[in-house]
Protein backbone atom coordinates (compact mmCIF):
# COMPACT_ATOMS: atom_id res chain seq x y z
CA UNK A 1 0.00 0.00 0.00
CA UNK A 2 1.11 3.52 -0.62
CA UNK A 3 1.49 6.17 2.03
CA UNK A 4 -1.55 8.08 0.80
CA UNK A 5 -3.69 4.95 1.21
CA UNK A 6 -2.44 4.59 4.80
CA UNK A 7 -3.31 8.24 5.48
CA UNK A 8 -6.81 7.72 4.09
CA UNK A 9 -7.32 4.65 6.27
CA UNK A 10 -6.11 6.60 9.30
CA UNK A 11 -8.59 9.44 8.72
CA UNK A 12 -11.45 7.00 8.19
CA UNK A 13 -10.55 5.19 11.41
CA UNK A 14 -10.39 8.48 13.31
CA UNK A 15 -13.80 9.55 11.99
CA UNK A 16 -15.30 6.16 12.81
CA UNK A 17 -13.93 6.42 16.34
CA UNK A 18 -15.26 9.96 16.67
CA UNK A 19 -18.74 8.86 15.59
CA UNK A 20 -18.74 6.04 18.13
CA UNK A 21 -17.50 8.26 20.99
CA UNK A 22 -20.11 10.93 20.25
CA UNK A 23 -22.81 8.24 20.08
CA UNK A 24 -21.64 6.72 23.37
CA UNK A 25 -21.60 10.03 25.22
CA UNK A 26 -24.90 11.17 23.75
CA UNK A 27 -26.76 7.97 24.55
CA UNK A 28 -25.29 7.83 28.05
CA UNK A 29 -26.38 11.43 28.65
CA UNK A 30 -29.84 10.48 27.38
CA UNK A 31 -29.96 7.59 29.85
CA UNK A 32 -29.00 9.91 32.71
CA UNK A 33 -31.63 12.46 31.65
CA UNK A 34 -34.32 9.80 31.27
CA UNK A 35 -33.68 7.50 34.24
CA UNK A 36 -32.01 9.87 36.69
CA UNK A 37 -28.54 10.08 38.12
CA UNK A 38 -28.56 6.77 39.99
CA UNK A 39 -29.79 4.38 37.28
CA UNK A 40 -28.65 6.40 34.28
CA UNK A 41 -25.12 6.89 35.49
CA UNK A 42 -24.64 3.41 36.92
CA UNK A 43 -26.37 1.31 34.24
CA UNK A 44 -26.76 3.65 31.27
CA UNK A 45 -23.29 2.91 29.93
CA UNK A 46 -24.33 -0.63 28.97
CA UNK A 47 -26.87 0.29 26.26
CA UNK A 48 -24.67 3.27 25.36
CA UNK A 49 -21.80 0.88 24.65
CA UNK A 50 -24.03 -1.32 22.50
CA UNK A 51 -25.26 1.69 20.51
CA UNK A 52 -21.69 2.95 20.10
CA UNK A 53 -20.71 -0.44 18.69
CA UNK A 54 -23.52 -0.28 16.15
CA UNK A 55 -22.55 3.29 15.30
CA UNK A 56 -18.94 2.20 14.74
CA UNK A 57 -20.06 -0.53 12.36
CA UNK A 58 -22.50 1.76 10.54
CA UNK A 59 -20.31 4.88 10.65
CA UNK A 60 -19.38 4.77 6.94
CA UNK A 61 -23.09 5.03 6.15
CA UNK A 62 -23.53 7.72 8.78
CA UNK A 63 -20.60 9.73 7.42
CA UNK A 64 -21.91 9.44 3.86
CA UNK A 65 -25.49 10.23 4.83
CA UNK A 66 -24.73 13.22 7.06
CA UNK A 67 -23.98 15.68 4.24
CA UNK A 68 -27.13 14.54 2.45
CA UNK A 69 -29.22 15.12 5.57
CA UNK A 70 -27.66 18.56 6.03
CA UNK A 71 -28.48 19.48 2.43
CA UNK A 72 -32.08 18.29 2.87
CA UNK A 73 -32.38 20.31 6.09
CA UNK A 74 -31.01 23.44 4.44
CA UNK A 75 -33.41 23.00 1.54
CA UNK A 76 -36.37 22.55 3.90
CA UNK A 77 -35.41 25.65 5.86
CA UNK A 78 -35.05 27.60 2.62
CA UNK A 79 -38.39 26.32 1.32
CA UNK A 80 -40.23 27.13 4.56
CA UNK A 81 -38.91 30.68 4.61
CA UNK A 82 -40.38 31.46 1.18
What is the per-residue pLDDT across 37-67, written as a single tens digit (0 to 9) for each?
998 889 899 999 999 999 888 888 888 888 8
First to last CA, the chain: 51
User: Alpha-carbon Rg of the chain, whole angstroms?
Assistant: 17
Q: Say yes or no to pLDDT of 68 above 60.
A: yes
Mean pLDDT computed over 23-27: 93
75: Cα separation from own chain's centroid? 23
pLDDT at 64: 84
Distance CA 12, CA 30 (A): 27
- Percentage of the chain exceeding pLDDT 70: 90
Q: Positive or negative, the Cα torsion across 45, 50, 51, 53?
A: positive
Amino acid sequence: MSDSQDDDDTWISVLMGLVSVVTFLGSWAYAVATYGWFLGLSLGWIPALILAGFAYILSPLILLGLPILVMIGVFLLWASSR
